[in-house]
Amino acid sequence: FHKDGFLVLEQFFSAEECDSMRSQIQKIVAEMEVPPHCRTEFSTREEEQLQAQGSSDYFLTSGDKIRFFFEKGVLDKKGNFVIPKEKSVSKIGHALHAHDPVFKQITHSPKVQELGRKLGLERPVVVQSMYIFKSLLAVTPHQDATFLHTEPLGRILGFWIALEDATQENGCLWFIPGSHTNGITRRMVRAAAGASTCVEFVGSEPAYDDKQFIPLPISKGGLILIHGEVVHKSELNSSESSRHAFTFHVMEAKGTTWSKENWLQPTPELPFPSLYT
């Protein structure tokens, strides 16, 4: 993990644990009622990201709630679904770990806490969680610390759980080994009051050489640990099968300052909870 910036742990969670998360998310989607004015499309391309997410309070205030973000092209101009709603969701975030009993139990499970201790985390707190459907979208190369900035760097860690087999065909993650040692090249920050978007990017993402990336296919139940500064991406899902994943981010809070400019902020209702219970 320290050398490459990522670590693959196969069969970390059982098939039963994965199935419990999938069935829970089906219930959440079945009960989903999203006001049309809140229907935000999720995108990872910078301009679209600023437009869809940055101009939207729905995104900025989702850190302590369970909210829905949609694939491109699934809504008509009136905000009505043009395909079944269960196929329209791109991700659900950003506080499943706090508000849903199934995801809370997984996030704070004894084996996750033990792993935190093996990594030497002293005061880890959970900052966000997401359920990712990965029906189509490619995710452009990025570093998680672009969005979750800390002083000093090196305090953010992602836990990415495959709820189904993740293959090269259905959009597994790709990484540049060792790329977590070069700092970060851009940040997404809250824009000044009165700006046309709520967030903006400072700096730019360099052009990465595709040859530097290696794919990390992983079986259902596997866990990938992701260093906050390692460069990673996923390609389009070109298969007929979905690639569901649950992911959450942890910050080592000891001696760390969470940037006030981050889009995600702890709230009085939900201060970042300790990973250790």
Could you tell me which of 85, 91, 51, 43 has the C-alpha nearest to residue 67? 91
Structure-block tokens of residue 36: 């049309």
Percentage of the residues of the chain whose pLDDT score is greater than 90: 73
Indicate the pairing of strand 214-216 with strand 150-151.
unpaired
17 residue type, one letter: E
> Is residue 188 within 8 Å of 201, Cβ to Cβ?
yes
pLDDT tens track for 145-186: 999 999 999 999 999 999 999 999 999 999 999 999 999 999
**Dihedral sign, Cα of residue 104, residue 106, residue 110, residue 113:** negative
> CB within 8 A of 108, min separation 6: which ones?
97, 275, 277
**Over 70: is that where the pLDDT of 41 sits?**
no
Q: What is the mean pLDDT of residues 237-241?
A: 89
Tell me, what's the pLDDT at 254? 98
One-letter amino acid at 126 equals V
Question: Cα–Cα–Cα angle for 211, 216, 217, nearest 5°?
Answer: 125
CA separation (Å) from 56 to 150, 190, 260, 267?
A: 24, 12, 18, 18
How far is 172 from 53, CA to CA, in rounded Å? Answer: 24
Q: Which of 2-6, 22-26, 39-43, 150-154 bottoms out in mean pLDDT, i.e. has the lowest?
A: 39-43
Average pLDDT, rounded, for the chain: 91
Prediction pTM value: 0.93
Provide the residue ranges of all domains of the chain, joining segments of one domain with +: 6-27+91-258
Q: Is the domain covering 6-27+91-258 a CATH 2.40.160.20 domain? A: no
Q: Span 250-274, mean pLDDT? A: 97
| In the block, residue with structure tokens 């977590």 | 180
Looking at the predicted structure, is the pLDDT value of residue 203 above 70?
yes
